[in-house]
Amino acid sequence: MHTRPRPAGKPAPNPKSEGDTTIRFIVIAKTNEDSEADVLPGTEAFAAMAEFNEELVKAGVLLAAEGLHPSSKGKRVRFEGSKRTVIDGPFAETKELVAGFWLWQCKSMDEAIEWVKRIPAEACPDGEGEIEIRQVFEADDFGPAFTPELREQEERLRGQAAEKR
């Protein structure tokens, strides 16, 4: 069973319901020199990605999709005990940084992989890039430490957050 896709930019509530066989995945596009230099894709790349995203929506896979500004516009906060240190971007190790992401719901990792293989080549400058696929935790994945009370609190907070959008 697929839930309705949500508009891009809106966090998705947990789509799992009793009997639901979908799994959520975050599909992470890594940065490259162009994206870290704040070089935006051209019209051809945007058009190819829009067409691909439309296919995802029609298939009931897409829950969210967003691109990120380069790390030069970002910050990191380092935690050391009670001390918090703010670190200004840009950050080293460009290949480890995130340029954007999709949130998908699929029946399996294999299905997610098949969708990733269909990402247009225009999404990767010079035809090279890397996409990472990670399964999103669901409440059942946390075991008994995630008590019924904590689950109820989580669902209440998700509902309140959705109302504020």
Tell me the per-residue pLDDT of 51-105, one tens digit each, with 9 for 90 and over: 999 999 999 999 999 999 999 999 999 999 999 999 999 998 777 899 999 999 9
DSSP 116: H
DSSP 137: P
Specify the pTM.
0.81
Tell me the per-residue pLDDT of 115-140, one tens digit each, with 9 for 90 and over: 999 999 887 766 778 899 999 999 88
- Residue with the two structure tokens 């029609």: 58
* Strand locations in the chain (E): 23-30, 62-67, 75-80, 83-88, 98-106, 131-135
